[in-house]
Every structure is written in structure tokens, then in C-alpha cells.
Amino acid sequence: MTVQSSSTPVPPLGGALLRGLADYWWLLLLRGIAAIVFGVLAFAWPGLTLLTLIFLWGAYVLIDGIFALWNAIAGGSSVMGHRWWLAIVGVAGVLAGLLTFMMPGITALVLLFFIAVWSIVIGLMQIVGAFRLRKEIEGEWLLILSGAVSVLFGIVLLMQPGTGALALIWLIGSMSIVLGVIYVALALRLKRHKA
């Protein structure tokens, strides 16, 4: 006599990740809205002082990091192990924001390198996350695109450290709006996968 065990099939890695992200699609939407607001403010006030820019950028990355961490943690234990990349993005954002507020007197060049490195790290983490999702959803290219834009932005800043403050503000504003629109589009796609 054979005894059959009734075991629940384990969902594929991407499936758990997709469910976790889809359940909290609105956090990605909030990240996108925060990025768009930051970008619009950078264009609306091009005469911002460097100190204002530093605080505005610090607030943006801190909020973005908090939302990313919340998304990583809120998925519960079933998806937590598969979302390390989102947790890294969140920690990087929170640390970048806190360091910015703790050292507001940093020079424009240091801020430029700080923003460039943060942008590259975030972009690489987004690309890694997109490859984890590529078989689970349509439109993962949006996350790859946002990561590529972020990495490209960071490389341009590293290669052009003498960029003027106004050009830097516009460049940061443009990148934020583009990334924000991509986040919003991706969030709306994830919403369709919500169980």
C-alpha cells in the first residue's frame, strides 16, 4: 500500500516575487509620484541654492528608500528571501538621505559624486530585479529601462564633474521625472497581477 503525501507545490521563485510586488504595487506608484514631484520642483525652481538642492535630493532619496524598504519587508516571510535586491535599494536610499542631512555643507563636487554612485547602485539593483521578474510579467523592460537610465545618469555625472549647478539641477530633474514615469507605468502593470 502506497501512501501519498499531500504537499503544496512550491511556487516558482519569480511567482512569489511577483505576488509580493503586485500586492504592494502602490508603494512603487508612490515612489514614482515622489520622483516626478522632485523632478518638477527642480525645474520649477531652477535658481535653487546648492543647500536647497542638497536637502531636496536628500528628502527624495530618503522617501524613496523608505518606500523600497517597506515594499521589501511588507511582503512577508514567504517573499522576503527573494527580495534582497529591493532591500538593498531601500537601505542605499535611506543611508544616502541620512548622510545628506547629516552633512549639508558638502561641496557640489562631492554631492555630484554621491548622486552618481547612488544612481549607479540603484540602477544596477533595478536591472537585477527586472531579470528576476522577466518570466513572470510583461513589461519587465520598464524596470530594466529605469535601471539603465539610472546607471547612464550616474556614469554621465562621473564623467562630467564640472557640470554647472543649473545643468545639474535640470539633469537631476529630468532623470527623476523619467524614472518616476517609468515607476508609475510599472506599478500600474503590477496592479494587474494583484491576486
Give a yes or no: residue 176 inside a domain: yes
Q: Is residue 9 one of the residues assigned to a domain?
A: no
43-69 pLDDT, tens digit per residue, is 887 666 567 777 877 888 898 889 888
- Burial class, 99, CB count within 10 angstroms (exposed 0-12 / middle 13-18 / buried 19+): middle
pLDDT at 148: 92
Q: Is 101 inside any structural domain?
A: yes
Does residue 6 sit within a domain? no
Query: pLDDT tens digits, residue range 157-194?
Result: 888 766 555 677 787 788 889 989 988 998 888 888 77
Q: What angle do CA 88, 115, 35 make, to 5 degrees?
A: 75
- Tracing cell 535630493 back to the chain, one arrives at 57
pLDDT at 162: 61
In a domain, 5, yes or no: no
Q: How confident is the model at residue 5 (pLDDT cuts 50, 70, 90)?
A: very low
Number of domains in the chain: 1
Q: Which residues constitute the domain of residue 99?
A: 14-192
The three-point CA angle 120-123-124 to 5° equals 85
Q: What is the mean pLDDT of residues 123-143?
A: 81
pLDDT in tens, 76-111: 554 445 578 788 888 988 998 888 888 776 656 677
Task: Provide the pLDDT for residue 120.
Answer: 92
Q: Is the pLDDT of residue 36 over 90?
A: yes
- Report the 10 Å Cβ neighbour count for 65: 23
